[in-house]
Structure 1
Amino acid sequence: MKILITGTAGFIGFKLALAFARRGDQVVGLDNINDYYDIRVKHGRLEHSGFPPPYEYGRLTWSEKYPELGFIKLNLEDRQGLEKLFKEQKFDRVCNLAAQAGVRYSLTNPQAYVDSNLVGYVNLLECCRHNNVQHFVFASSSSVYGLNETQPFSTHDNVDHPISLYAATKKSNELMAHTYAHLYGLPSTGLRFFTVYGPWGRPDMALFLFTKAILEDQPINVFNHGRMQRDFTYIDDIVEGVIRVVDKAPQGNPDWSGLDPDPSSSRAPYKIYNIGNNNPVELMDFITTLEQVLGKKARKNLLPMQPGDVPSTYADVQDLVQDLGYKPETPVKEGIMEFVGWYRDFFKV
Structure 2
Amino acid sequence: AGRRLALLGDLAPRLADWYQWLSSTQAGSRPHTYRWRGRDKSDGRLNAMTLASGLDDYPRATVPGEGERHLDLLCWLAFFSRFLAQLSERTGDGGEAARYREEHRAQLASLEQHHWSPGLRAYCDWGRHANAGRFVQLVVVKCGTADGGSAVEHTVSDPERPDCPRSHPRFLFPLGDGKGGLLTRAKLQPRGLKDQHVEHLGYVSLFPLLLRLLPPDSPSLPHVLDLLRDPDRLWSPHGLRSLSKADAMWYGRENAPGDAPYWRGPIWVNLNYLCLAALRHYAQAAGPQKERSAALYAELREALVGTMVSEWERTGYFWEQYDPDTGRGQRTHPFNGWSSLGLLALAEVY
TM-score by length of 2: 0.27
| Larger relative contact order (Cα-Cα within 8 Å, sequence gap ≥ 6) | 1
Tell which structure's C-alpha radius of gyration is larger.
Answer: 2
